[in-house]
Amino acid sequence: MRSGALLDECRAGIHRGVPLHELPEGAGTAFNVVIAVPQSALSIQGSPKVYAGTKGDSGQDYIRRFCPNCGSTILSEPAALPGMSILRAGTLDDPSWLKPSMEIFCDSAQPWVELGGAMQRFPKMPMPG
């Protein structure tokens, strides 16, 4: 499985072998579909910029890696989930295989959002353990 930024300057790959296509722009939306991926299964091509200094619900830092040319966020690395990267599903070349299994940050959802289905729902980010 592979993903990339809008201008294809930076690429992330999960070792699955799914073909590539361009990233749709997705900033400014009420939704953010993500995939937790072990960092050992992830490879990054190019030189993404790093933004550090943001704190998550855990109170711990996380960093974001994004394309230095188009600004597309590719993934984040939360200190609360050591060894894991959170990959933006919108960067996947083929997201058709995805089936979300949970909704997080439901406390801050827009009032018109009702996804339904059999997904687990969490008011904030559930902590491991």
Tens of pLDDT along the chain (129 residues)? 455 544 444 555 543 333 223 223 333 566 778 888 899 888 888 888 898 877 877 888 889 888 888 888 888 898 988 999 988 888 888 888 888 888 888 888 888 887 777 888 888 878 776
**Going by C-beta distance under 8 Å and a sequence separation of 6 or more, which residues neighbour residue 1?**
13, 14, 15, 16, 17, 18, 92, 93, 94
Q: Let me know if 107 is exposed, middle or buried by CB neighbors in 10 A (0-12, 13-18, 19+).
A: exposed
Domain chopping of the chain, boundaries = 2-98
Give the predicted TM-score (pTM) of the model: 0.71
Dihedral sign for Cα atoms in the order 35, 66, 85, 39: positive
pLDDT of residue 3: 53
Written out in words, the top-level CATH class of the domain with range 2-98 is mainly beta
